[in-house]
């Protein structure tokens, strides 16, 4: 059986590395990108089984834009949007309403400081494992 491949995108080197190590310890292969632009190049050639995307990278809305591009090209790829926007800006987002689900092209929204068990549980749920 082929390992599931997870795309991790974050401009924070430490978060990117820690998340990569965690996800690999769960038994998945990983592809990483440190920007929206780099991730968009990757998805032109590769379809991940799941993506973990930071919200604020080159721009404050990079994660929203990248999620939109991933879902446009691969509608069945689940996306976890990882963010520290609430602690950094005081603005919060959720996926509680249908309106938010329509414009936030993510399946799960997690505040950074994500516990390993929480991340593993969300990945398994989204991959239906």
- pLDDT at residue 104 in the model: 64
Average pLDDT over residues 28-48: 96
Average pLDDT over residues 46-68: 91
How many angstroms separate the CA atoms of 59 and 61, rounded?
5
Helices 116-127 and 13-25 pack at an angle, to 10 degrees, of 60
Could you give the C-alpha distances from 82 to 3, 44, 53, 128, in angstroms and in order?
A: 23, 22, 6, 20
Average pLDDT over residues 82-90: 62
Per domain, the residue ranges of the chain are 30-43+60-96
Which of the two residues, 35 and 88, has the higher pLDDT score?
Answer: 35
pLDDT band with cut points at 50, 70 and 90 for residue 107 = confident
Which two tokens mark 60? 């404050």
């Amino acid at each position: 059986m082929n390992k599931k491949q997870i795309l991790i995108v974050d401009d924070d080197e430490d978060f990117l590395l820690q998340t990569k190590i965690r996800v690999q310890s769960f038994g998945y292969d990983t592809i990483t990108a440190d920007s929206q632009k780099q991730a968009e190049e990757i998805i032109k050639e590769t379809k991940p089984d799941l993506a973990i995307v930071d919200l604020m990278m080159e721009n404050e809305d990079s994660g929203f834009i990248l999620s939109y591009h991933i879902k446009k090209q691969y509608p069945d790829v689940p996306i976890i949007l990882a963010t520290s926007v609430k602690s950094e800006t005081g603005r919060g987002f959720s996926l509680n309403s249908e309106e938010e689900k329509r414009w936030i092209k993510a399946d799960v929204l997690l505040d950074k400081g994500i516990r390993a068990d929480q991340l593993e549980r969300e990945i398994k749920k989204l991959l239906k494992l």
